[in-house]
Structure 1
Amino acid sequence: MADERLGAEWLRGWCEQAEAALAKLMESFQARHGFEPGSNVIVHVPDASRRATDALVELTPVPSDLATMHWVVAEVSLPDVENGCLSTRPRLSRSASASTAPSRSIR
């Protein structure tokens, strides 16, 4: 897949597989680890929010795979999986993108 562009249908399928694996993991989580899991979710983008992603792509140069991800996935929060994972949607307003744009590179 490294040479191919990320497809929305493929990503939806990945979400379904990840959700099924997550449900299985959560069934035995407390018994295995001795405490209740946190909120582990994969949130899909509602149809109405896809217009906001399209607007973001028009405002700024966004790599197509990243735009596809934000067109399909609203949020991923997996604090109890490996080292944890979090991905949220970017701010989608002109004022937010202008005020939060980095002014310099930090190395």
Structure 2
Amino acid sequence: MSERSLSSAWLSSWASLVSGVLDEMTEEFERKHGFPPGANQVRLADHEDQEAAHALGRDAPAAVDLVTFYSRIGEVVWADVGNGYFIHPARDVLGQHAEYGPVRVAARQEPGGLVIGSDGGGRSYVVGPDGAVHRTRTASLDEPELDTVADDLRQFLELLERSLARFIATGEPGYL
């Protein structure tokens, strides 16, 4: 395992850190924004999530870190951070893959990307077979145009964490 690979310990630390920040943000949200907060949480994986994570590794072209992630984290819902950030549950990733197939990440590559999440603006996040995370430029997944936003899932989670911190400090989440 490389030092950039995800581990259960790193994921636990990340989830604990951002959950604490989300709790603080939520406590102040209505006073600051004038309306009640929506759902803002990192939900830890339950038994069903863990089974879906293993199925993802078995039935779809999932990068190893993605299986590790879903074995520990069930879902990320940050409805009030910018337009919102969402990492969908593994069972939704499997459903998307079963219904629509994998996403072509690069023109010369065989399709192999998995849609793992979205933002509140309709763009999707796709993990390629190499583990890199890409974002669609538009809401369409039919022949999507993708930009690479992170070299791996760990970097993507670190960028999400920075977006959360920036949002709390400035009201703007940044480019992610």
TM-score by length of 2: 0.51
CA distance, structure 2, for counterparts of residue 21 and residue 32 of structure 1? 15
Equivalence for 2:25: 25
Aligned-residue Cα RMSD (Å) equals: 2.6
More strand, by proportion: 2
CA distance, structure 2, for counterparts of residue 103 and residue 65 of structure 1? 18
Equivalence for 2:135: none
Equivalence for 1:75: 75
Larger radius of gyration: 1
CA distance, structure 1, for counterparts of residue 70 and residue 95 of structure 2? 19
**Deviation (angstroms), 1:106:** 3.1
Paired residues of 1:91 and 1:97 also in contact (CA < 8 A): no
* Unmatched 5+ stretches in structure 1: none
Please list the CA deviations of residues 40-60 of structure 1 after superposition, one character each: whole Å capped at 9, or x if unmatched.
Answer: 121111135313311220122
Equivalence for 1:106: 144
Count of aligned pairs between the two proteins: 106
* Unmatched 5+ stretches in structure 2: 105-142, 146-176
More helix, by proportion: 1
Paired residues of 2:74 and 2:90 also in contact (CA < 8 A): no
- SS of aligned partner of 1:81: coil
Identity %: 29
* Structure ranking higher on relative contact order (CA contacts 8 Å, 6+ apart): 1
